[in-house]
């Protein structure tokens, strides 16, 4: 495994006020980070791996359970077939996964439930901002965000109420990560105003719920 950058949002200034952020460490998984060229189809898997890295570190810190390693893409596909969410043809495929599959896998590998919040359109994201903000304030877990017209899966590691915006960690980067600053300078992690999300796309938000923080 290539060395992964951690907490790539750190040092990125929010221009707004009333901010809630991820708490605890995560690793930034992105296209090709383990030598598998998954450009064009692997963004959901990479965001899942980023969430898994956070869950694993939380479990290791508490010592409450022996935590599973962050699963590889083949392991994720095998798990979804084992759960009968996917058929055998899914193994070795380039089929995408979304927030529902992410929730299933976090529960499968780590026995951690997730809350999946459905938003009918990007125009309705303001209606769930209180839920997103409360999630970061109370639980501190990174969030997976996926949609349909906006099919680019992404991680969310913070929320700002004024102006309403989300801190996006984009898994579509391909190449060697030099520093978190490099990723920030090239907008692979950035604050995105709610109005800049696809207004016609639905979105599903997968929010891990650590039992000791619920």
pLDDT tens digits, residue range 62-103? Answer: 876 667 999 999 999 999 999 999 999 999 999 999 999 999
The residues that bridge with 168 in the sheet, in sequence order, are 156, 190
Mean pLDDT of 41-47: 97
Q: How confident is the model at residue 143 (pLDDT cuts 50, 70, 90)?
A: very high
DSSP label of 149? S
User: What confidence tier does 14 reach under pLDDT thresholds 50, 70, 90?
Assistant: confident
Please give the average per-residue pLDDT across 143-152, as a whole number: 89
**Res. 179 pLDDT band, cuts 50 70 90:** confident
Active site residue 18: no
Distance of CA 104 to the CA centre of its chain: 14
CA 166 – CA 161 distance, rounded (Å):
9
- State pTM to two decimals: 0.95
Q: What pLDDT shows up at residue 128? A: 96
170 flagged as catalytic:
yes
All structural domains of the chain, each given as residue ranges with its CATH number in brackets, are 17-213 (3.90.70.130)
Chain position carrying tokens 């508490």 = 62
6 — pLDDT class (breaks 50, 70, 90): very high
Catalytic residue chosen out of the listed positions 9, 30, 33, 43: 43
35, 144, 175 from 208: Cα distances, Å: 27, 9, 28
Q: Which of 25, 172, 182, 198 is catalytic?
A: 172
In this prediction, residue 4 carries a pLDDT of: 93
Closest listed residue to residue 48, CA positions, set 171, 158, 131 = 171
CA–CA separation, 212 and 139 (whole Å): 9
Does residue 205 register a pLDDT over 90? yes
Q: Tell me the C-alpha distance between 9 and 7, whole Å.
A: 5
Stretch 36-46: mean pLDDT: 97
Average pLDDT of every residue of the chain: 93
Check residue 6 and report its DSSP letter: B
Dihedral Cα 66, 70, 211, 207, nearest 10 deg: 180
Residue with tokens 């915006």: 165
| Whether the predicted pLDDT of 214 surpasses 80 | no
9 is a catalytic site residue: no
């Amino acid at each position: 495994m290539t060395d992964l950058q951690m907490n790539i949002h750190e040092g990125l200034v929010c221009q707004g006020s009333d901010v809630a952020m991820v708490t605890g460490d995560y690793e930034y998984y992105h296209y090709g980070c383990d030598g598998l060229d998954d450009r064009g189809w692997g963004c959901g898997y990479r965001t899942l791996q980023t969430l898994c890295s956070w869950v694993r570190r939380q479990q290791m810190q508490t010592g409450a359970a022996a935590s599973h390693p962050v699963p590889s893409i083949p392991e994720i596909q095998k798990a979804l077939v084992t759960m009968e969410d996917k058929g055998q043809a899914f193994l070795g495929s380039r089929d995408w996964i979304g927030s529902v599959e992410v929730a299933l896998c976090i529960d499968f590998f780590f026995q951690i439930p997730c809350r999946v919040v459905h938003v009918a359109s990007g125009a309705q994201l303001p209606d769930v901002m209180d839920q997103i903000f409360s999630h970061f304030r109370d639980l501190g877990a990174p969030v997976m965000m996926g949609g349909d017209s906006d099919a680019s899966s992404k991680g969310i590691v913070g929320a700002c109420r004024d102006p309403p915006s989300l801190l996006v960690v984009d898994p579509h980067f391909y190449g060697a990560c030099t520093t978190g600053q490099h990723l920030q300078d090239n907008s692979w992690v950035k604050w995105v105003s709610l109005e800049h999300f696809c207004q016609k796309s639905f979105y599903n938000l997968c929010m891990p719920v650590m039992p000791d923080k619920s």
